[in-house]
Structure 1
Amino acid sequence: MLTHLAIRDFAVVTAAELEFGAGLTVISGETGAGKSLLVDALGFLSGQRADSGMVRHGAERAELHAEFDLAASDDARQWLREEEFDDGDACQLRRTLRADGGSRAWINGRPATLSQLAALAGRLVEIHGQHEHQALLSRPSQLALLDAFGGHDALLAAVSGAAQRWSALLRERDTLTRAREGRPGDVTERGEWLEHQLAELDREPIDPASIADLDASHRRQAHSAGLIAACDSALARLDGDDSAALPRLLQQLRGELVRMHEHEPRLAEVDAMLDAAAIQLDEAGLLLERVRADLDVDPVQLDELERRLTRLHELSRKHQVAPEGLEAQRDALAAELDSLRNAAVRLQALDGEITAAGDGWRKAAEVLGKARTKAGKALSKATTALITELGMGGGHFEVALEPAETGRPDPQGAERVEFLVSANAGQPPRPLRKVASGGELSRISLAIEVAALGHDAVPTMVFDEVDSGIGGATAEIVGQKLRALGQSRQVLCVTHLPQVAAQGHAHYRVSKAASDGVTQSAVQQLDARQRQEELARMLGGVEVSTEARAAARRLLRNAS
């Protein structure tokens, strides 16, 4: 949900900050005051191509900043995590437009590309209006909305999974086929090469434990002379009979302390520690004798150990892995050899598995196609009824499904969708993206969103001049539909009709004034009294009459 929008030096807006909440927020103002600039700002924050003409005259750059609460936007949070832009349940979009035509963008304070900005914004805000950059004009978005409307998540997952399995089996078959055809090498030659490599590796113990033992044995033999000298010297100090031997010195020390401990009881504790030390010295001497017995200067053994280590390092360089990675390399080569030996059998089995996977996809796609047909009829009926309510009498909406000519299992199913609309009776339906009237397009988009109420994943919807070309009872119905949509989604609507504005949960007014010969726009959030005056102005024009104020109060009372 959009919570904050800040604009600086954008078109005729010097500076403006808006706070948004849930429900329907309406934006009104005099013609030419710049009501749609707020929609334009969101459009640029959604990745629209930079336009230096939108920088306020005399300024170096325009700055746009939006903050969103992602508590109910799982799709956006997941995208942020995958792209490493995540920052809790809050999200900030920022973009600058320079007067020389350049622009920069940031997501949560980190530089971002326009494609990343557009990908994220598409999960946060959807703009419906007299512009061609609308999600509902995109056929993939239309298909996604139809599937959401029909609750096809499980069916679509089954189709996607079957298509992915088919593709994986096909890739495996292609890999084996290329190998058998001599790319990168003939199977027989490759197999002989693999057998030779495995034979080389199997001649040496290459498991990590054996390599560690070999390295330890080499170090011990390489330093055997020094180790023997060190052991002999230590044993002489531990087991010698001269007065400098450690056990004799320790015994003398204990004797001296025993004579004195009756005068200081704590010396008894010291004697106990020295007694334990004497035991440890005896055990150390026994271990030293065993170590010394294992040591021997053996040049032949040293040469053998060095030869084995050299061989291991040669294998490491040959296979471009560390010595500890040779075992894994051997296992990989053995697996490839096994695969080559069984390639013919596996290829034969793959043909059957690919056929079965294709059949599975077709069955799943057929079930999904039937569900889409049923959902399309329901969405068509509901949207057509709403189009009539919205002042397009005789209008007709149709969800057309046509085969997807991909020639292979498609994760999206066996069909594509096109939203068709006839704005007037007697006219043939045409693709929604080719509807000429911006006002009609806005109302049709509103009808589709209301018909699919609660199914669109985008949390914020913006309607620009959705009430263009209508009035009276139809305008009130449009306002009611927008308010109803605001029960499950955040809705922003730029309007010039009081019947629509009265339905808002919050109301902003955009005004313009000349300062030092320069026209500037200002945005103000209206309280209850100001809102009544604005509706009266919208009803009565420049001169606000008592009757207009009374009518404004009635509109607000009826809306609430």
Structure 2
Amino acid sequence: MLTQLTINNFAIVRELEIDFRNGMTAITGETGAGKSIAIDALGLCLGNRGEANMVRPGALRADLCARFSLVDAEMAANWLIEHQLDNQNECLLRRTISPDGRSRGFINGVSVPLSQLRELGTLLIQIHGQHAHQLLLDNTHQKSLLDAYSNQQELLAQMKKAWKTWHDSCQQLAVFQKEMQERESRQQLLEYHLKELSEFLPVQGEFEEIDQEYKQLANHGQFLSIGQTTTHILSENDDANVISLLNMAKNELTDLVALNPKFSELLDMLEEASIQVSEVSDEIKHYCDQYELDPNRLFELEQRISKQISLARKHHVSPEALPELFQQLLTEQEQIANQNEDCETLNEQVAIDHQKALACAERLHHVRLHYAQELSTLITNSMHQLSMPHGLFTIDVKFIPEQLQIDGACKIEFNVTTNPGQPHQALAKVASGGELSRIALAIQVITAKKMDTPALIFDEVDVGISGPTAAIVGKLLRELGESTQVMCVTHLPQVAGCGHHHFYVSKETNGVETETHMQLLDKKSRLQELARLLAGSEVTKNTLANAKELLAA
């Protein structure tokens, strides 16, 4: 429950500290006094959007703090433990706003993002605003109200998870299909390149070999000329050649060996040199005799080398790397073919995930059907209490699998008839403003009884209600306050008189500054305030007597 609210430099509040108690607390005040300022301040502590103009003029910042007891708030206590923000059985939500609009949020003194304030706030308190009857016309809000009443959070979480899984599968398939179009374009390009390379069929190491052969054939004349010159020098020159000169040297060295045997090794070396030179000469001569120019082979080599160089330039690789590129393109083509097969797998997964989400949506649909009947009966009974004796409220729940969403596949429609003979139609088409306010209030009170939230605030939800109906509304809120903490901002004396506690909001001005105050009324002051609400202006003995009756009721 909310135990204390501290407000500093917020709007026209300089400093305010309010202690709250169990039961129903009524909040009243004159028009323009700022009855909803405390609710607005609390909303900021719960993570609502803050603005620079909320800071009291001249102040350094607005500082707001809400203190909660966690004795009856198990879910909130568990949330704090989970996020390592627990502080025994108490929770402090604080919000500061600077004149430049910047704000900070704190949970038990620890700075946190506003999203965490909002998340925790939903577990601590529910605020029902004065425009709830307008929201009641929206089908999405109607679905939220039904789900709040059914309190099937686990099933809704399962639905959300199943839908997200299906949605993710659909996204994966969409991305895959988009990439598949790109792959198809790539596949066509690969087929063209591979056809070209397959016709050429590059072989590892081939370019080096044919390049060498081509150079030899292309330089045929130079090769023969050098070969012939070499053999001429080595053995065929009649005047002087290497072999004849070596033989002359051997003859001279033989005579030297006869004179000195130690030169015999040199003679052997010279003999060996003569043999090697003779072999070289014979080998070159044999090669030159056998070597013939093949113009066809030369042309063939020239064409293949030219094609290989052209293909290499086209693919931005060296000619030697063409065989490796060919294998890489073949591998890529195979991978694309395998990936296209994956499309079938993804399609199957999308279908499986869709069926799972649809099955979860069907379970949720049956739950909603059950609670729709239960809630319809309760709201109809409340309408009878709230001066609509012929009212009949029903909730139409349609299952539309083609419209599967994160919260299921149901379309929810609140229908009502308020008078005999009136057709049963959608709420927006039938109910008047006053009737809509009473129906909205009935729904809020009924759903609040089913929820685990330990504190409830009703901010002028009784707009459009008066007389005996207002007294019934007050009794409903007081009854609700017996089991949970209820705070109600109201302008109706019949509602305010039902409160266990009563705060009065007033505004004072000195001509320069304006301040809002909020005080807990004792019995005497409360009688005066109820009398003021009844009279509208001057308080009389009759209005005081009526006020006493309201308190005694």
* TM-score tier after normalising by the smaller chain length: 0.5 to 0.7
What is the deviation of 1:523? 0.9
Aligned to 2:361: 365
- Farther off after superposition, 385-394 or 508-517: 385-394
Alignment partners' CA distance in 2, 1:113 and 1:422: 46
Code of the residue aligned with 2:24 in structure 1: it is L
Pick from 379, 386, 392 the counterpart of residue 390 of structure 1.
386
What is the deviation of 1:374? 2.9
User: Residues 91 and 107 of structure 1 are in contact (CA less than 8 Å); yes or no, is this contact kept in structure 2?
Assistant: no
What is the deviation of 1:500? 0.7
Superposed counterparts of 1:86-101, under 5 Å: 86-100=86-100
Alignment partners' CA distance in 2, 1:104 and 1:472: 44
For residues 450-495 of structure 1, the C-alpha deviation after alignment (integer angstroms, 9 at most, x for no partner) is: 2335222333221122232332211100101111222333211111
Aligned to 2:2: 2
Residues 404 and 17 (structure 1 numbering): CA distance in 2 closer, same or farther, change over 3 Å? Answer: farther
What is the deviation of 1:29? 1.6
Code of the residue aligned with 1:380 in structure 2: it is S
Instruction: Please give the secondary structure, in 2, of the residue aligned with 1:466.
Output: coil
What is the deviation of 1:509? 0.9
For residues 300-351 of structure 1, the C-alpha deviation after alignment (integer angstroms, 9 at most, x for no partner) is: xxxxxxxxxxxxxxxxxxxxxxxxxxxxxxxxxxxxxxxxxx9999998987
Residues 177 and 73 (structure 1 numbering): CA distance in 2 closer, same or farther, change over 3 Å? Answer: farther
Pick from 474, 478, 498 the counterpart of residue 473 of structure 2.
478
User: Residues 465 and 493 of structure 1 are in contact (CA less than 8 Å); yes or no, is this contact kept in structure 2?
Assistant: yes
Residues 49 and 524 (structure 1 numbering): CA distance in 2 closer, same or farther, change over 3 Å? Answer: same
What is the deviation of 1:504? 0.7
Structure 1: state its 5+ residue gaps.
187-341
Alignment partners' CA distance in 2, 1:65 and 1:155: 35
Alignment partners' CA distance in 2, 1:406 and 1:9: 53
Superposed counterparts of 1:116-515, under 5 Å: 116-131=116-131, 142-150=142-150, 152=152, 156=156, 159=159, 358-359=354-355, 361-391=357-387, 397-403=393-399, 412-417=407-412, 419=414, 443-515=438-510
- Farther off after superposition, 480-489 or 78-87: 78-87
User: Residues 532 and 552 of structure 1 are in contact (CA less than 8 Å); yes or no, is this contact kept in structure 2?
Assistant: yes
What is the deviation of 1:353? 7.5
Instruction: Please give the secondary structure, in 2, of the residue aligned with 1:123.
Output: helix
What is the deviation of 1:86? 3.9
What is the deviation of 1:41? 1.9
Residues 43 and 353 (structure 1 numbering): CA distance in 2 closer, same or farther, change over 3 Å? Answer: closer
Instruction: Please give the secondary structure, in 1, of the residue aligned with 2:149.
Output: helix
What is the deviation of 1:397? 4.7
Aligned to 2:104: 105
Code of the residue aligned with 2:50 in structure 1: it is A
Larger CA Rg, structure 1 vs 2: 2
For residues 61-94 of structure 1, the C-alpha deviation after alignment (integer angstroms, 9 at most, x for no partner) is: 3322211223333443444455554434322222
User: Residues 463 and 492 of structure 1 are in contact (CA less than 8 Å); yes or no, is this contact kept in structure 2?
Assistant: yes
Alignment partners' CA distance in 1, 2:345 and 2:468: 68
Residues 158 and 95 (structure 1 numbering): CA distance in 2 closer, same or farther, change over 3 Å? Answer: closer
User: Residues 133 and 436 of structure 2 are in contact (CA less than 8 Å); yes or no, is this contact kept in structure 1?
Assistant: no
Alignment partners' CA distance in 2, 1:31 and 1:360: 55
Code of the residue aligned with 2:540 in structure 1: it is S
What is the deviation of 1:431? 6.8
For residues 369-420 of structure 1, the C-alpha deviation after alignment (integer angstroms, 9 at most, x for no partner) is: 123123223323322442453356776655343556776x756332243556
Residues 454 and 447 (structure 1 numbering): CA distance in 2 closer, same or farther, change over 3 Å? Answer: same
Alignment partners' CA distance in 1, 2:389 and 2:60: 49
Give percent identity, aligned residues only. Answer: 40
Aligned to 2:307: none
User: Residues 397 and 429 of structure 1 are in contact (CA less than 8 Å); yes or no, is this contact kept in structure 2?
Assistant: no
Residues 424 and 522 (structure 1 numbering): CA distance in 2 closer, same or farther, change over 3 Å? Answer: farther
Code of the residue aligned with 1:28 in structure 2: it is T
User: Residues 143 and 417 of structure 1 are in contact (CA less than 8 Å); yes or no, is this contact kept in structure 2?
Assistant: yes
What is the deviation of 1:536? 2.6
Residues 21 and 139 (structure 1 numbering): CA distance in 2 closer, same or farther, change over 3 Å? Answer: farther
Aligned to 2:69: 69
Residues 124 and 161 (structure 1 numbering): CA distance in 2 closer, same or farther, change over 3 Å? Answer: same
Alignment partners' CA distance in 2, 1:519 and 1:175: 60
Alignment partners' CA distance in 2, 1:61 and 1:460: 28
Residues 49 and 419 (structure 1 numbering): CA distance in 2 closer, same or farther, change over 3 Å? Answer: farther
CA RMSD in angstroms, aligned pairs only: 4.5
What is the deviation of 1:24? 0.9
Code of the residue aligned with 1:378 in structure 2: it is E
For residues 216-235 of structure 1, the C-alpha deviation after alignment (integer angstroms, 9 at most, x for no partner) is: xxxxxxxxxxxxxxxxxxxx
Aligned to 1:294: none
What is the deviation of 1:27? 0.6
User: Residues 145 and 456 of structure 1 are in contact (CA less than 8 Å); yes or no, is this contact kept in structure 2?
Assistant: no
What is the deviation of 1:57? 3.9
Code of the residue aligned with 2:128 in structure 1: it is H
Alignment partners' CA distance in 2, 1:504 and 1:151: 28
Equivalenced residue count is 404
Instruction: Please give the secondary structure, in 2, of the residue aligned with 1:9.
Output: strand
Instruction: Please give the secondary structure, in 1, of the residue aligned with 2:452.
Output: coil
Alignment partners' CA distance in 2, 1:176 and 1:95: 46
User: Residues 45 and 93 of structure 2 are in contact (CA less than 8 Å); yes or no, is this contact kept in structure 1?
Assistant: yes
Superposed counterparts of 1:513-524, under 5 Å: 513-515=508-510, 517-524=512-519
Alignment partners' CA distance in 2, 1:135 and 1:118: 20
Pick from 529, 533, 537 the counterpart of residue 528 of structure 2.
533
What is the deviation of 1:2? 1.4
Residues 418 and 54 (structure 1 numbering): CA distance in 2 closer, same or farther, change over 3 Å? Answer: farther
Code of the residue aligned with 1:107 in structure 2: it is F
Residues 545 and 179 (structure 1 numbering): CA distance in 2 closer, same or farther, change over 3 Å? Answer: closer
What is the deviation of 1:501? 0.9
Residues 374 and 505 (structure 1 numbering): CA distance in 2 closer, same or farther, change over 3 Å? Answer: same
Superposed counterparts of 1:39-78, under 5 Å: 39-78=39-78
For residues 513-551 of structure 1, the C-alpha deviation after alignment (integer angstroms, 9 at most, x for no partner) is: 333543322111122333223223322345433333332
Instruction: Please give the secondary structure, in 1, of the residue aligned with 2:508.
Output: strand
Aligned to 1:14: 14
Instruction: Please give the secondary structure, in 2, of the residue aligned with 1:462.
Output: strand
Structure 2: state its 5+ residue gaps.
188-337
Alignment partners' CA distance in 2, 1:105 and 1:433: 44
Code of the residue aligned with 1:105 in structure 2: it is R
User: Residues 128 and 134 of structure 1 are in contact (CA less than 8 Å); yes or no, is this contact kept in structure 2?
Assistant: no
For residues 218-271 of structure 1, the C-alpha deviation after alignment (integer angstroms, 9 at most, x for no partner) is: xxxxxxxxxxxxxxxxxxxxxxxxxxxxxxxxxxxxxxxxxxxxxxxxxxxxxx
Instruction: Please give the secondary structure, in 1, of the residue aligned with 2:450.
Output: coil
Alignment partners' CA distance in 2, 1:113 and 1:384: 42
User: Residues 130 and 463 of structure 2 are in contact (CA less than 8 Å); yes or no, is this contact kept in structure 1?
Assistant: no
What is the deviation of 1:12? 2.6
